[in-house]
Structure 1
Amino acid sequence: FMPSSFMSYAVDYDGDGKKDIWGSFPDVFASAANYLSSVGWKDDVTWGRQVQLPEGFDESLAGLDTKKKLAEWADLGITRFDGSELPSRDDIVASVVIPDDNEGRVYLAYANYDALMRWNRSHYFVAAVGYLSDRIRFPR
């Protein structure tokens, strides 16, 4: 956290009377959650998912400014990374993110991806934190 972020979002979660994001894991995680909640993190959806693009995908559709329903992306030939169909939820909109090139990783980015991008504008940061959140929420 920058000093202004600390002042706005730090939390004394362990109840010791100090907001200690350097020495208290409870304070660290509660402060991070407080910040993410304030920028739009939604607990009922994930951050995104790695996907496969069809041959000849129009890369001008990639980027966080283009949002479509999952069914619309499916109609354009996008599948889950394993080749299976995308979820059939019409209440979720997503963007296609290609951080490297279309031969590398490609993601469908949901609202939580946008929230993480408000914290750090790096697609690599967002993917790393997203995967970490998945492993915490859905341990193998």
Structure 2
Amino acid sequence: LDLSAENPAHTGSFNAGNGWQHVKFGKTQVIRYFCLESLNTHGGDPYASIAELELSGEDGKPVSRQHWKVVYADSEETNDANNVASNVFDLQESTFWHTGYSTIAPPHPHQIVIDLGEDKAIGGFSYLPRPEPGKPGMIKDYKLYVKKSPFKL
């Protein structure tokens, strides 16, 4: 994934701890592709994990995830667990995406890119960390990129 020519739509920091965290954009944006880049974690470990992601529409309500597809994830843990990237929109808070750890643990940054399947007017997003407190991969600092056209892979 080449983000060198991209400007983040939003940068920020998630709070430590469990529970949904909500981010509102300054203005609504019409997008099709969504990239969340994890820069580091609260625990200082090399992993990233996400239980669920939601995007909110102009009305603040979650948009449908029915047509979402993962088009890129820099790493997934599939040897010791089924921590695939598509877990971030499977509507199951107990499953999660986790970057690799059993054979190789690539360092940050970590990225996941989702194709929404169609253009959507988005006013913000919500992040749910993995459900176990104190576990690795809890994202701290992040960048968010959004586009109407695909990212350069």
TM-score by length of 2: 0.22
Say which structure is richer in strand. Answer: 2
Q: Which has the larger radius of gyration?
A: 1
Between the two structures, name the one with larger relative contact order (CA 8 Å, sep ≥ 6): 2
Say which structure is richer in helix. Answer: 1
